[in-house]
Structure 1
Amino acid sequence: MSATPQISVVVPVFNERDNIAPLVHEITAALRDVAEFEIVYVDDHSRDDTLAVLTALKSQVPELRVIQHLRQSGQSTAIRTGVKAARAPWIATLDGDGQNDPADIPKLIAQRANGDDSIKLFAGWRVNRRDSGSKRWASKWANAIRARMLRDDTPDTGCGIKLFERAAFLDLPYFDHMHRYLPALMQRAGWKTVSVPVNHRPRSTGVSKYNNLNRALVGINDLRGVSWLIRRNKITGTREV
């Protein structure tokens, strides 16, 4: 494994034992000739043998690092744990269920190479979602409300595949479920964000950890909180003299 990876791929997982090996091998295949990389899996205290599968896989994949939460803490905390542990200046994130396509990571990297330095987040945009009709409808409704309240000009904030600067992320206010509002939070900090069309795949094994009701109930309070943060924000330009 390189001492100085250019990209750290952070993958939060909870009870995803059957999706781990295929996804890890897809990540390595996508990035092997693109950039020096590491893969940081964060096991959010799974109840199945996710941790054992990850530990065994380390002998086959030298780029793989594994961190375990000692108690279940949620996806946002798992992402932040991985970002804090990451050694690269730029972070790519993927959901651990295999619905995000690692082959899209080089596309995001290419967008960064061609973008200006003020863009700190390249967010995946699932233009052809492979979820149930009820889930797509709920997401469309939630995105419309979020866009109206936050004006973040982002068509899909729920997509797990993203590329962002590590330092910019760690400077954002941290709270549970913050990963759903990264474009708005980055823009609040004075940075630009770009949405990039990406592939989306049906879940092949395991079950979703969310349902439409709990997403909606949590989302209402989160939207109010993020909206308050935006209203109370002050961005001050600085220069060293």
Structure 2
Amino acid sequence: MFQPTEPILRPVTGAAPQQPAPAVSVVIPVFNEAANLRDLVARVHEALAARPGGFELICIDDGSRDGSERLLLELAAGRPWLKPVILARNYGQSTALQAGFERAAGRYIATLDGDLQNDPLDLPALLDRLDTDDSIDMISGWRQQRQDHALSRRLPSRLANRLISWATKVELHDYGCALKVYRREIIERIHLYGELHRFIPSLAKEAGARIVEVPVRHHARTRGQSKYGLDRSFRVILDLLLIVFVLRYRQRPLHAFGGLGLALATPGLAMLGYLVVLKLLGETIGQRPLLMAGTMLVLVGLQFVAVGLISEMLVRIYYEKGPRPQYHLRPPREPGGPGW
């Protein structure tokens, strides 16, 4: 897994002794959630403080503008298990999660939203099941009793869940629930970018994860503003096209582009062959629309095959050299310093 080379994100006043890795890492992306952070940190501590092996809470501030960064650093000053990660700007939820995954040291990794609609008190039961059942690699939460009363959120979500399940062949009732727990090795096999956080179960399945879905509690948002709108439904459809392509053809793009190219070029060649026969029989073919159609189909088909070959070369480079870092970090400001 990629190991970041940029500075530690929490203020360090001296050399600290090496601490054993915690049993659980909780990763939470944060964007303009200052009103919820104190309660969020307190509830995660309440849920996991008594758990054997200890835990760490990694909160990734994704370019917040409401003071979330400052509050996270204040809370971390007296809580060694709280580890803020401060991104230089707003990169989106997928990149924020990836930043947290790269710093998670636990044997188990849990995620939830920072708006307190997920209940941290559900974590112990999910972790216990993962700890006692070796046949499970990932547990995904299912908000059976959703407290989002707006039809504009519930109906698109239901349709999206069914569409994603059908397209990816990973049957889940609730892809949008952020409350999930994983074995570490599963997280190490996937890499998030763009907005692929919606499709983590599909990516995990491809990585060999055995997934179950468990009902969890869901609370209405009481503070702050929702970050989701109707435009999210349209983005889900576009992202779904990407994830289906990635899952099926990531390691063999020539099969996708080349297959489409051959499907276009074959009838084009048949048309041109037919016209060649007519030409040999003495007929004039220069003004026939079939000549233009056949030529265009062959040219477009060859272009798709060429794109497939180029994609194969890019895939080879990608796997041999590895991806470049997709985000940059900003060192935290010192308490009392400029801009605090």
> Do they fold alike, i.e. is TM over 0.5?
yes
Equivalent residue in structure 2 for 1:157, among 175, 194, 200 = 175
C-alpha deviation, 1:175, in angstroms: 2.5
Tell me the amino acid that sits aligned with residue 193 of structure 1.
I
| Residue 239 of structure 1: aligned partner | none
Equivalent residue in structure 2 for 1:219, among 199, 220, 236 = 236
Superposition pairs for residues 20-35 of structure 1, below 5 Å? 20-35=37-52
Uncovered stretches (5+) of structure 1, i.e. residues with no partner: 235-241
Tell me the amino acid that sits aligned with residue 165 of structure 2.
A
C-alpha deviation, 1:180, in angstroms: 0.9
Q: Is the 8 A contact 2:44 2:120 kept in 1?
A: yes
Tell me the amino acid that sits aligned with residue 58 of structure 1.
A
C-alpha deviation, 1:61, in angstroms: 2.4
Answering whether residue 101 of structure 2 is matched by residue 67 of structure 1, we say: no
Answering whether residue 110 of structure 2 is matched by residue 92 of structure 1, we say: yes
Q: Is the 8 A contact 1:2 1:37 kept in 2?
A: no
SS at match of 1:10: strand
State how far apart, in whole Å, the 2-side matches of 1:19 and 1:173 are: 28
Q: Could you list the per-position Cα deviations for residues 155-201 of structure 1 after superposition, in whole angstroms to 9, with x for gaps in the alignment?
A: 11110111012332232243212111111111112221111110000
C-alpha deviation, 1:233, in angstroms: 6.3
| Residue 166 of structure 2: aligned partner | 148
Tell me the amino acid that sits aligned with residue 122 of structure 1.
I
Superposition pairs for residues 14-53 of structure 1, below 5 Å? 14-35=31-52, 36-53=54-71
Answering whether residue 93 of structure 2 is matched by residue 110 of structure 1, we say: no
Q: Could you list the per-position Cα deviations for residues 26-78 of structure 1 after superposition, in whole angstroms to 9, with x for gaps in the alignment?
A: 00000011231010110001111001111111133221111100011001110
| Residue 302 of structure 2: aligned partner | none
Cα separation, partners in 2 of 1:173 and 1:53, compared to 1, 3 Å: closer
Answering whether residue 189 of structure 2 is matched by residue 171 of structure 1, we say: yes
State how far apart, in whole Å, the 1-side matches of 2:191 and 2:69 are: 29
C-alpha deviation, 1:94, in angstroms: 1.1
Uncovered stretches (5+) of structure 2, i.e. residues with no partner: 1-17, 252-340
State how far apart, in whole Å, the 1-side matches of 2:72 and 2:193 are: 27
The CA RMSD measured in Å over matched residues stands at: 1.6
Equivalent residue in structure 2 for 1:190, among 198, 204, 208 = 208
Q: Is the 8 A contact 2:97 2:192 kept in 1?
A: no
Cα separation, partners in 2 of 1:173 and 1:63, compared to 1, 3 Å: closer
Answering whether residue 73 of structure 2 is matched by residue 55 of structure 1, we say: yes
Q: Is the 8 A contact 1:121 1:164 kept in 2?
A: yes
| Residue 24 of structure 2: aligned partner | 7
| Residue 201 of structure 1: aligned partner | 219
| Residue 77 of structure 1: aligned partner | 95
C-alpha deviation, 1:10, in angstroms: 0.7
State how far apart, in whole Å, the 2-side matches of 1:189 and 1:38 are: 25
TM-score of the aligned structures, taking structure 2 as reference length:
0.65
Q: Is the 8 A contact 1:188 1:233 kept in 2?
A: no
Q: Is the 8 A contact 2:29 2:61 kept in 1?
A: yes
State how far apart, in whole Å, the 2-side matches of 1:115 and 1:177 are: 31
More strand as a share of residues: 1
State how far apart, in whole Å, the 1-side matches of 2:209 and 2:238 are: 24
| Residue 146 of structure 2: aligned partner | 129
C-alpha deviation, 1:23, in angstroms: 0.7
State how far apart, in whole Å, the 2-side matches of 1:26 and 1:174 are: 27
| Higher relative contact order structure (alpha carbons within 8 Å, sequence separation ≥ 6) | 1
TM-score of the aligned structures, taking structure 1 as reference length:
0.91
State how far apart, in whole Å, the 1-side matches of 2:131 and 2:105 are: 20
State how far apart, in whole Å, the 1-side matches of 2:134 and 2:188 are: 20
Which structure has the bigger radius of gyration? Answer: 2
Q: Is the 8 A contact 1:124 1:161 kept in 2?
A: yes
**Matched residue pairs, number?**
232
